[in-house]
Structure 1
Amino acid sequence: MSKRKISLHSCSTAAAAVEMSKRKISLHNCSTAAAPKPQQHLFLVLDDWDKGYSVRKVDLDALDYANDDCEPDDFSEPPLARFDVVHGHSYAFVAHGTKIVAMKPHEVSPAIPAFDTATSAVGILPWPEFRMSFGRPILVSIDGRLFLFINRIHYLGDPPVCEAVYAPAVQKPWVWTSLDSPRSLLPFTAPVCYAVHPDGRTLVVSSRKWRTVTEEGTFSFDTKKMEWTRHGDWQLPFRGQAHYVSQLDAWIGMCHHKGGIGHLCSSDVVPVAAGATTLPRWKLLGEERLFDPDSPLHLGATLVHMGGTRFCLVESMWHKADEDVRQRKGKESGMYVGPPRVVIRMTTFDVQYDKDGELLLQSRRTHGCRVFRRAHDKPDSLAGPVAFWL
Structure 2
Amino acid sequence: MWNPISVAAGNALYVLDDKLHPGGFEALRYEPRARDLSPFPPSPDWRWHCLPPPPYVLEPGYAPTSISAYTVVDDSEIWISTPGFGTYSFKIASGLWRKAGDWELPFRGRADYFPEYNLWLGFSSQDSMLCSSNLKAASVQSGPELLNKDWEDLHTHEGWISRRSFLVHLGFGKFCVARFFQTVENKASEAGDIHSQIDNFAVLTGLMLHHGGVNGDLRMIRHRSQLYRFRAMTSGWVF
Regarding TM over 0.5, the answer is yes
Find the aligned partners of 1:246 and 1:300 in 2 and give their Cα distance.
25
3-state SS in 1 of match to 2:143: coil
1:151 paired to 2:27: no
Contact 1:303 1:314 in 2 (8 A): yes
Query: Structure 1 residue aligned with 2:132, among 266, 269, 291?
Result: 266
Q: Which amino acid aligns with 1:270?
A: K
The alignment's C-alpha RMSD in Å is 3.5
Tell me if the contact between 1:238 and 1:253 (Cα under 8 Å) persists in the aligned partners. yes
Give SS of 2:30's match: coil
**1:27-86 CA distance string (max 9 Å, x none):** xxxxxxxxxxxxxxxxxxxxxxxxxxxxxxxxxxxxxxxxxxxxxxxxxxxxxxxxxxxx
- Tell me: CA distance 1:287–1:310, structure 2 relative to 1, closer, same or farther (3 Å): closer
Superposition pairs for residues 120-139 of structure 1, below 5 Å?
Answer: 134-139=1-6
Whichever residue aligns with residue 135 of structure 2, its letter is V
Partner Cα distance (1:176, 1:332) in 2: 52
Secondary structure in structure 2 of the residue aligned to 1:187:
helix
Q: Secondary structure at the match of 1:175?
A: strand
In the alignment, which of 357, 368, 379 is matched to residue 226 of structure 2? 368
Out of 62, 67, 79, the position equivalent to 1:191 is: 67
1:172 aligns with 2:44: yes
Asked whether 1:232 is paired with 2:232, we answer no
Amino acid paired to 1:194 = Y
CA distance in 2, matches of 1:173, 1:310: 36
Q: CA deviation at 1:246?
A: 1.0
Residue 226 (structure 1) shift: 0.7
Q: What SS class does the counterpart of residue 221 from structure 1 fall into?
A: strand
* Of 288, 291, 296, the match for 2:152: 288
Given the two structures, how large is their TM-score scaled by the length of structure 1? Answer: 0.49
- Sequence identity, in percent? 23
The structural deviation recorded for 1:242 is 0.6
Deviations 1:142-193 (A, max 9, x none): 223222233243212136557485789455375321135xxx5353643211
Residue 194 of structure 1 and its aligned partner are, at CA, apart by 1.0
Residue aligning to 1:343: 201
Superposed displacement of residue 286, structure 1: 3.4
Gaps of 5+ in 2: 58-64
Q: Which has the higher strand share?
A: 2
Query: Does structure 2 conserve the Cα–Cα contact (< 8 Å) formed by 1:242 and 1:254?
Result: yes
The amino acid across from 2:202 in the alignment is I
1:67-146 alignment runs, 5 A limit: 134-146=1-13
Distance 1:327 1:168, change over 3 A: farther
Instruction: Give yes or no for contact 1:219–1:230 (8 Å, CA) kept in 2.
Output: yes
1:151–1:186 Cα contact (<8 Å) kept: no
> What is the deviation of 1:350?
2.0
Contact in 2 for aligned 1:194/1:206 (Cα 8 Å): yes
1:203 match: secondary structure: strand
Q: What is the CA-CA distance between 1:282 and the residue it aligns to?
A: 1.3
Match of 1:120 in 2: none
CA apart distance, 1:365: 1.8
Q: 1:222 to 1:294 in 2, by over 3 A?
A: farther
Distance 2:43 2:204 in 1: 40
Distance 1:296 1:346, change over 3 A: closer
Are 2:68 and 2:108, in contact at CA under 8 Å, matched by a contact in 1? yes
